[in-house]
Amino acid sequence: MLAQGSSIWELSLDHLAIRMVLAAVLGGLIGIEREWHNHAAGFRTHILVCLGSATIMLMSLYGFSAFVGEPNVQVDPARLAAQVISGIGFLGAGAILRNGDMIKGLTTAASIWTVAAIGLCVGAGYYSAALLCTFLVLVSLYMLNKWEKRLLRNRRICSLEIRIANGTASVGSITAALSERSLPISRLKLESSRKAGGPDEAAREYKLEIKLKGVRQEALLEAVESIGRMEDVTKIEALGLGAVMAAAAK
């Protein structure tokens, strides 16, 4: 990798370009999968993370070559790399979203962190580790994702949040609509709040929270549509199945 007679602290321009381009390619390969599935951090984000990590690693290895011969300078190529590993966590945290009991973005955050490690490997010239890591990440995101969905299809969890305008008479109809479509209820919570207009029962609004387990998306969509047509239901939200589905009744 080094020209004849050159120092280990120097890198030729062509090898510099190879490492930076390879980092962009490997990061882009992982980013395509995230972009394809409409995640917050996609194609360009992963390229930038991987390329930036590779550049920092290159700077750590070769950017201070002019000071190597100085007697009072201690060279530590791993110091900047260590800061990348810890600092990239702030970027990954931005991809994590929480909505009630649902947490999204953990896989994307992990992929960003791993892409940073790939970039460091490329920047250091450790190509075998970078290529193998990229291959395993793609296998995890593509193949294992499908296997996981197939294996856990009967353990999918979804949460429903339903707003009821007048009284609690509709609760029985809502639970019946779910039971008819074989959507088992694992938890049910009912809260009430007073609406403007008076202290009587009719002036109260109720929020019904239902957690479902073993959800089939087709059955859930049918149930949401049926519940949304009920007279007292003013709003219904279904959270889960990898996406947020919302429908407003009337």
Q: In CATH, what number is assigned to the domain containing residue 242?
A: 3.30.70.260
**Which one of 91, 120, 151 terminates a domain?**
151
**For residue 199, what are the domain limits?**
154-247
Q: What is the pLDDT of residue 26?
A: 92
Do residue 21 and residue 65 come from a single domain?
Answer: yes
Do residue 104 and residue 160 come from a single domain?
Answer: no
Do residue 131 and residue 176 come from a single domain?
Answer: no
Do residue 134 and residue 181 come from a single domain?
Answer: no
Global pTM reads 0.57
Do residue 72 and residue 95 come from a single domain?
Answer: yes
The total number of structural domains that make up the chain: 2
237, containing H or E segment: strand 233-240
Q: What is the pLDDT of residue 103?
A: 65
Q: Where are the alpha helices (DSSP H) in 63-168?
A: 78-93, 106-123, 127-138, 145-151
Per-position pLDDT tens, the chain of length 250: 444 345 666 778 888 899 999 999 999 988 888 888 777 677 888 898 899 899 888 888 887 666 666 676 666 777 778 888 778 877 777 777 665 555 677 788 888 888 999 998 998 888 899 999 999 888 888 887 777 666 655 556 778 888 888 766 678 888 888 888 878 787 888 887 765 555 555 567 888 888 887 777 778 888 888 888 888 888 888 776 544 333 333 3
Q: What is the pLDDT of residue 72?
A: 66
Distance, CA of 53 to CA of 20 (rounded, Å): 10
Within-domain flag for 202: yes
Q: What is the pLDDT of residue 239?
A: 73
Q: What is the pLDDT of residue 210?
A: 84
Within-domain flag for 138: yes
Do residue 102 and residue 226 come from a single domain?
Answer: no
Do residue 65 and residue 93 come from a single domain?
Answer: yes
**Which one of 127, 151, 175 terminates a domain?**
151
Q: What is the pLDDT of residue 154?
A: 56
Q: Where are the alpha helices (DSSP H) in 139-180?
A: 145-151, 169-180
